[in-house]
Chains A and B, each alone.
Chain A
Amino acid sequence: MRRAINTAVCLLLLVAAAAASAGEIPSRPEQLKYPDLVFDVPDADALRFELADGTPVYAKRDSQFPLVNITVYFRGGRYLAPAGKEGLAAIAGEVWRTGGAGERTAQQLDEELDFLAAALGTNISEVSGSASLNVLSKDLDEAMALFMDVLTKPRFQEDRFAKAKDDLIQNMKQRNDDTAGIEGREWNRLIYGDDYWMNRLATKASVDDLTAADAKEFVTSLVRSGNIVVAVAGDFEPAAMKAMLEETIGSLEPLAQELPPIPQPAHTPEPGVYVVNKPDVNQGRVSIGQLGYREGYPDEFPLMVGRDILGGYGFTARMMKTIRTDEGLAYSAFAALDFPVTMPGTFRAFYQSKSSTCAYAAEIFFDLLGAVRGDGVTDEELKTSKASFIETFPRAFASANQIVGRFAIDEILGRPHAYWTSYRDKVAAVTAADTKAAMSKGLDPDKMIILVVGNIEEIMQGHPEHEAKLTDFGPIPEMPPHAPTSREPCAE
């Protein structure tokens, strides 16, 4: 009996200890245990159907809120604007929405949409465009009629067209006001060359010559059957939605002729230090990098991980740890590397630092880049970076609208759905050796461009406590600023 009691007490003590430890707070976060989390990529094919004319539709119902969202994506964008008509895509994309449609003047259309509280947006970007409608589901039929007018019978009313031209010219005047704007434009010029379509910027002269007829032709030639993909999400009855789409978007005129392919850059960037003087600021903006790669580049995933370890957007990357945390030289210090589907992207490391330490921070960056290429990355860094890519992956599919939008854009650009289903496996397969090899092969400090925008006189002087000077990094070719509205090189 006594023995039995002892056993019971012991058991009780054991259970109590176990309970206490379950309730205890571990001393380090690594000791926490988590349940499994399984996430499957939504099945694109299950969400996809075609209208009678072949128009692809991705639809996902979500009745949480009484809203419905319909987006029509199309191929074609700024690259199609002919030389001399720079600014056409931007203005066409705007006045398409603001210029009235069908039987309604611009002002009547605005009033009706605002009274319905419908958000109707249009946009033409680099290689694609879209028109979207977001409305309370109870008002869908009424709003859809207006949306169809915008899609098929835009008016490009003259006063709104003139207004859009004025606004664009007003914005143009601010081109040299902000160092960030100067940096972005000059970077693209240096990387892709002045002749590349991306760098054919609107000027006052080109905008003055644009007509509403140009814009209307530009839009209506692209919003055609055979050139669009539709995404629908929200509160709707699937059968009724399908029938409505057949009747409306399913009856667009067919595309008249195949679009020309997107031109690829032919320019070879010239390494060097390029400076743009903006004397009245006390902080320089610095970009360092080179032409990058398209999606499908064989080393895409190792390079993506290597870039993240070098200059990822967070505080765990080497650039932030060194340039910001250790040295206090910058608020942000990152490296961007994109792999666009339709043209090569860029590798661009960038930071902003007070004039006197711009050169010193550049020296640090090149040391960091050299180390990643020469010595590679640590296992700990690799583990963190890969885990981050894999664990945050579900956030790319967080809502019905995001899911159908992603698949529709993929189909427009020509990215296979397999990109997503194999994404996590490809990240998981990256090794430290792959990363080092990819960074070494894919990035070349000798080919890099350094762009500096700021008070150049102060920046050239450097800092009394550091030896680095801007002249250490290569020749500094003359680069005059460009007049804001003519884009002609100018003095000052």
Chain B
Amino acid sequence: MSLRRRSITAGLVMMVLLCGLTVIAQEAKVPVRETTLENGMKLLMVERHESPTVAAGWVAHVGSVNEEVGVTGIAHLFEHMMFKGSRTIATTDYPAEAEIMARLDAIRTEMDVEYAAMREAKRRGEITGSIYLPENQTPGLAELREKMKKLQEEQKELTVNNEFEQVYTEAGASGMNAGTMEDGTFYFVTVPANKLELWFWMESERLLNPVFREFYTERDVVREERRMRVESDPTQKYWEQFDFMFWGSLPYHHPVVGWPSDVESISRPAADRFFATYYAPNNITAVLVGDFDPDEALALAKKYFGRIPRGTTEPPDVVTEEIAQLQERRMRAEADTNPSVHIRWHAVPFIHKDAYALDVLDLVLNGRTGRLYKSLVEAERLATGEPYSTFSPQKYGGSLEVGAELADGISHQEVEDSLLAEIELLKTEPVSERELQKVKNQSLADSFRRLQSNFFLLFQLLMYDAFGDWQYLNVSPALIEAVTPEDVQRVAQTYLTDAGRNVLWFSRKGGTAEDPELAALSGQAKAMAKQGLAQINQIDDPAELEQGLQQMKAMKGEAPPEFQPAIDLMITRATERLEMLQAAAGEEE
């Protein structure tokens, strides 16, 4: 749902939000030992001995929400750069490398002059398409790129390719990865229980002495990541634009992976400044879950992380608040996908007191015994699959979205009306005690289920900490248990307003293999059917359609055999449409 848009291991985030936001019961409390080191770094530890491993990770409290205009995507690019090693790791001669990198930066500065000229040429209409395309490059730029390439080859001689990963892999670490979200950047791995010190060594090393080598080639990787996740995905590129429409002033509006123009232009010195501000220990929380002794782990934390100096300036607070939405906003997207309707409202940040009632509201709508399925699928037969609700509270703002995929022959408007009718019902009537109890029972069971895996627990602690308070894990059961039917009604009235709606309709793109039965035809027969179906869909008068249908039936016998399937399809569709028009006319009378 909304999380498929994020640049992170989406499955995990989904698990956290789906299970994680449905907590309850005192028994499910996690004994977390919390310590803050002298340099401001926070450490959370949970000791468990079921498996001889430790799930270890840390979160830097920086994500795309902290990015300024022109450098969108830098937080995510950074996530990639943090795997490039240090002054010790991944190099055979750091001083020589440093010299090459300084020369690379200088070339990059010269290239910026060329790019600026190309941007102007583009504004004049002399260049079309991205200024970064090979066909658009100026002779000067080509020369600089050649120089850059040579230097990169030189540096490669001094670099030990991916040594950071190599050290971990050989030590039996697994699941090493990282993820960037709007509110945080996460780094995590599972290590054998006897090698926890290695984790401290490696992580403190990359925070203390990082080297952003391969900076200019890694951006090509990020561009490929964007092509994969967004540009070559049938719906993601539209979701990106919907997000941009949804968020007003709050810097959640731009994609985590960054605008293509920006990602290409970020320089290494800009990255250095970013690191100094946001990767200081006072902006980081580390978490350990698994088979270790907390006293020993704390001693190691002091020894390794303690040597990293506190940042010279505190990371700036995000001061821009979301501007109130004055009127409904709508977007219609034509894509290679089944038709669907999605409606999103602004809700509350993660630590807001109304978040618990919204959790409950969300659960009341979801699932096969939830309200959306019962009405849109079972009673009205308007939707296929399972209609959904997603409450996504983040650090500085939140959203609640409902949506459904259209059943055959159903219009977008019918589905939208029906979804809104369910929202209206939440505002006008309190939810039943039985519904509320069901949701609370599920929360109780889920509050235990979500604790079963070390890695999953680690991930929840990191994420809740990024959203503003890891204690959510332990305090939310009681707070959800306390939610009343009146609370749910009140939050529905407060947040799910008419003017606050943002509506997205997906329609299947015309002209491609959109209509499966049409796609099964070929050649002239297909062209004819395509044209015919388009005409049929434009006729609104039942009498006129009836006449056309009779003519088709009469002429069918005379058509050549290869056209028969096409005519059959047109007759079927015309008959269906006629029935629909007649039914609609009947209702009006």
Contact = CB atoms under 8 A, between A and B. Distances in A.
A177 B224 contact: no
B588 interface: no
Given A167-B384, A316-B166, A283 B369 contact: no
B225 A331 contact: yes
A331 B233 CA distance: 15
A437 B437 CA distance: 63
B338 to A, nearest CB: 6
A280 B134 CA distance: 20
Contacts of A29: 89, 167, 171, 198, 201-202, 205
A447 interface: no
Given A314-B169, A329-B220, A391 B192 contact: yes
B161 A326 contact: yes
Contact of B169 (A65, A172, A384): A384
A27 interface: yes
Closest 5 pairs (CB-CB, A-B): A391-B172, A328-B220, A117-B445, A281-B232, A315-B165
Given A25-B303, A331-B221, A331-B228, 7 more contacts: A25-B307, A114-B438, A166-B408, A316-B169, A383-B170, A484-B516, A486-B520
Given A64-B50, A325-B162, A485 B336 contact: no
A170 to B, nearest CB: 4
A409 B218 CA distance: 42
A315 B441 contact: no
Interface string A134-149: 1110000000000000
15 contacts: A29-B198, A30-B167, A65-B451, A67-B449, A117-B445, A170-B384, A170-B405, A176-B513, A325-B217, A391-B173, A395-B53, A398-B454, A481-B513, A485-B520, A490-B519
A116 B217 CA distance: 54
B474 to A, nearest CB: 15
Interface of B: 27-28, 50-53, 83, 88-89, 134-135, 156, 161-162, 164-167, 169-174, 176, 190, 192-195, 197-198, 201-202, 205, 214, 217-221, 223-225, 227-228, 231-234, 303-304, 307, 336-338, 367-369, 377-378, 384-385, 405, 407-408, 434, 437-438, 441-446, 448-449, 451-454, 512-513, 516-517, 519-523, 526
Contact of B53 (A163, A353, A394): A394
A115 B161 CA distance: 54
Interface in A63-117: 64-67, 98, 107, 110-111, 114-117
Contact of A316 (B89, B162, B202, B446): B162
B23 to A, nearest CB: 13
B458 to A, nearest CB: 13
A383 to B, nearest CB: 7
Given A67-B448, A492-B513, A110 B165 contact: no
Nearest to A312: B169
Contacts of B202: 29
Given A64-B50, A399-B50, A490-B520, A170 B385 contact: yes
A491 interface: yes
Interface residues of A, number: 91
A282 B129 CA distance: 13
Contacts of A328: 217-221, 224
Contacts of B304: 25
A159 B176 CA distance: 46
A377 B198 CA distance: 26
A431 interface: no
Given A163-B377, A316-B162, A398-B53, A354 B513 contact: no
A106 B523 CA distance: 46
Interface stretch (A32-40, A193-201, A249-257, A412-420): A32-40
A392 B172 contact: yes
B144 to A, nearest CB: 15
Contacts of A294: none
A176 B520 CA distance: 13
Contacts of B172: 387-388, 390-392
